[in-house]
Amino acid sequence: MALTPAGETFRSRVSNPLFFFGWSLVKLPSALFCGVGVAELTESGCRTTVPYGWRSQNPFRSTYFAAQAMAAELSTGALVLLATTDAGVPISTLIVGLEATFGKKADATTTFFCDQGADVFVAVREAVATGEPRNVVLQTVGRLPDGTEVSRFRFTWSVKKKGG
């Protein structure tokens, strides 16, 4: 699927480290402090990272679960923002559910990947067409550089056309 010009502009801006820094400073200062970043954003998926270091570390020498949650949310939220921007009409978004599991200690940069962009675009299109809210459940998995899974998050996003 091809993005509209507005969607492509959003995608390219969020993918630009300088723009992302400024945007995060205003919209996501805690994530910026922890070093959370967007590594890749396409219509089909989003990859985000959170480094292991003093800004994201807990007393047990692993990445704090809240820092992981910020990177995980961003990997799904960037897809939601891309789809809502691409729709070209005002849309309300809200996380209405969250589940998380943690399997291994995150002691290196953790990369989260959500590959459900198509599901987000379908939900947004349905919300725009019907005027009714739509929920979409998005899963993202956090992995260490060697591929070890450290955490898995499931966010339930609600999208609704404003005024509808």
pLDDT digits 0-9 by tens, 91-138: 999 999 999 999 999 999 999 999 999 999 999 999 999 999 999 999
pLDDT of 164 strictly over 90: no
> Measured between alpha carbons, how far is 36 from 32 in angstroms, rounded to an integer?
6
> Measured between alpha carbons, how far is 24 from 37 in angstroms, rounded to an integer?
9
The pLDDT tens digits of the residues spanning 46-74 come to 999 999 999 989 899 999 999 999 999 99
> Measured between alpha carbons, how far is 123 from 132 in angstroms, rounded to an integer?
10
Give the chain's mean pLDDT: 94
- Residue-level pLDDT at 157: 98
Helix (H, G, I), strand (E, B) or coil at 130: helix
Q: For the chain, what are the domain ranges? A: 5-161
What is the band of 20 on the pLDDT scale with cuts at 50, 70, 90?
Answer: confident
Percent of the chain topping pLDDT 70: 99
pLDDT of 3 strictly over 90: no
The residues pairing with 135 across neighbouring beta strands, listed in sequence order, are 158
Class of CATH domain 5-161: alpha beta
Mean pLDDT of 14-32: 88
pLDDT of 154 strictly over 90: yes
100, 139 Cβ separation under 8 angstroms? no
